[in-house]
Amino acid sequence: MTPSPELGHPGPALIEGRGLRRAFGRLQVLKGIDLSAAAGDALAVVGPNGAGKTTLLRILAGIMRPSGGQVRVLGEPLGRGGSVARRAIGLLSHQSLLYDDLTLTENLTFAARLYGLPRPGEAAAAALEDAGLADRAGDQPRKLSRGLLQRAAIARALIHGPRVLLLDEPFTALDAAAAERLRALLRARLGAGLAMVLVTHDLAEAWGLVTRVAVLLGGRWVADESRSGALETFLPRYHALIGV
């Protein structure tokens, strides 16, 4: 019996995957994955390189087609083009998704226009204000430090008010202080009712944030549990699972 990470959350699922499979040629990367996350849930997906973590996240984001199965966001299938489901998804990755030749204001205004926000310019200004980047609004991303760039990327990811935030190795290249700030910000968003799915190979960075941990190995779940206790008690079990 394959465990599936959908135990023990009260609300309805904001994002839900059923029987997700993905093959590249003959190589089966995902072999039937179920998952769901409700408001306030933060699901960490961990596993060794090549376990299928990035593939899973890209399928959940609607950037990659599954070979089988379906993703539903707010109960609606995640299809192509404009839809309620797509509007509800935000992606924060280790890359900023920002254009180097545009200023922060231009970048965020463009993102706001893509999501059809009514007043894109104001939305961009407000998002920069929230991120504490109002005084850097006219700068290009390449002029920002890694920490400030991360803040701009967060502003880009959240500008349209997503209900589900997908995170792809968001702590990569952040120093300890920046990582702690990111955790604090994400915790506040969780409290406000966001659902998160976070893919990481470094569980230590995410441990203080997540509510559930699921281990992906060879395209299947091999473990899935609510986070309990300290990281030090989980790690030996994790290492045994992935055979380190």
- Which residue, 97 or 235, is less far from other proteins as judged by CB? 97
Q: Directed axis angle between helix 146-158 and helix 104-114, to 10°?
A: 20
Other beta carbons less than 10 A from residue 172's beta carbon: 15
Beta-strand pair 195-200/42-46: parallel
Which is nearer to other proteins, 47 or 62 (by Cβ)?
A: 62
Closest distance between other proteins and the C-beta of residue 237, in Å?
25
Contact residues for other proteins, defined by CB under 8 A: 24-28, 58, 61-65, 80-83, 86-87, 89, 91, 93, 95-102, 106, 110-111, 113-116, 141, 156
- Shortest approach of other proteins to residue 80 CB, angstroms? 7
Q: Quick one: 83 or 211, whose CB is closer to other proteins?
A: 83
User: Which phi and psi angles does 213 have, rounded to 5°?
Assistant: -125, 130
Neighbours of 162 (CB within 10 A): 22
Closest residue by Cα to residue 98 from 59, 134, 148, 164: 148
Kindly state the smallest distance separating residue 11's Cβ from other proteins, in Å: 24
Beta carbon nearer to other proteins, 136 or 156: 156
Which of 212, 227, 231, 131 shows the shortest CA–CA distance to 178?
A: 131
Smaller CB separation from other proteins, 92 or 223: 92
- Residue 228 Cβ vs other proteins, minimum distance, rounded to whole Å: 33
Separation between Cα atoms, residue 100 and residue 183, nearest integer Å: 26
Closest approach of other proteins to the CB of residue 117, in Å = 11
| 151, two tokens | 């803040």
